[in-house]
Amino acid sequence: MGAFASGAVQANRLPGYPHMSVVARAFVAVFAIAAAALWLLSRSPQYQLFGELVDRVETDDRLIALTFDDGPARENTPRILAMLAALDVKATFYLVGEAISYHPEEARAIVAAGHEVGNHSYTHSRMLLRSPGFVASEVERTSALIREIGYTGAIHFRPPYGKKLFTLPYYLWRQDIKTITWSVAPESNLPSHASPEAIAAYVLEHARPGDIVLLHVMFKVREHSLAAVPLIVQGLRESGYRLVTVSELLAHGET
């Protein structure tokens, strides 16, 4: 009987893994697949577990929202504001609370120019496996600063790096705050050294009515993205598009 039991145990082990049974290997495989699925979900711009997530709207109107993440920054905020003023475009800026505290005048200038302002967290931390208290602090401190700089519109939230899982979506859902992501992200799909022309060409090739375009223009490393803005606006207008804020886009279609 002892020899039989020993043989059964040996038969239940896999070659190369003498101390791991078939059941244990199966458990590890399932765990790995589940972890990978959660990781993909955490960074997906189209899905989250709770609340309302908007990556684009369904509309027949040729409308596109141009959005900028990060900042405000001392040098590039005046540059992008001057550029948008010359182009007669209103955009949506997702600002970082800590950066607002460092550069309040630049943040006020964004509001004074009539642009929409969204919440991009206080410290730009990845919002994965965070405590409820941490999430609440990141969102609420930033929203308070956005009100202090004079913004009175609805404050939507964009997760840093697009990361969100469990705690953040649940908190936003309970607070009735929309999560806004994107549907066109040239910087994520092109080489880091891509030219302004290449960035603009990517946007124009992929643009559809109701899209939300994501760009980073606040820092020196994104000079090509900043230079691409006039090319994007001109190309979209030539294709019959009108540039609007995210809130304006939400009012024109179904999420």
Active site residues: 69, 216
Helix ranges (DSSP H) in 55-117: 76-87, 97-102, 104-112
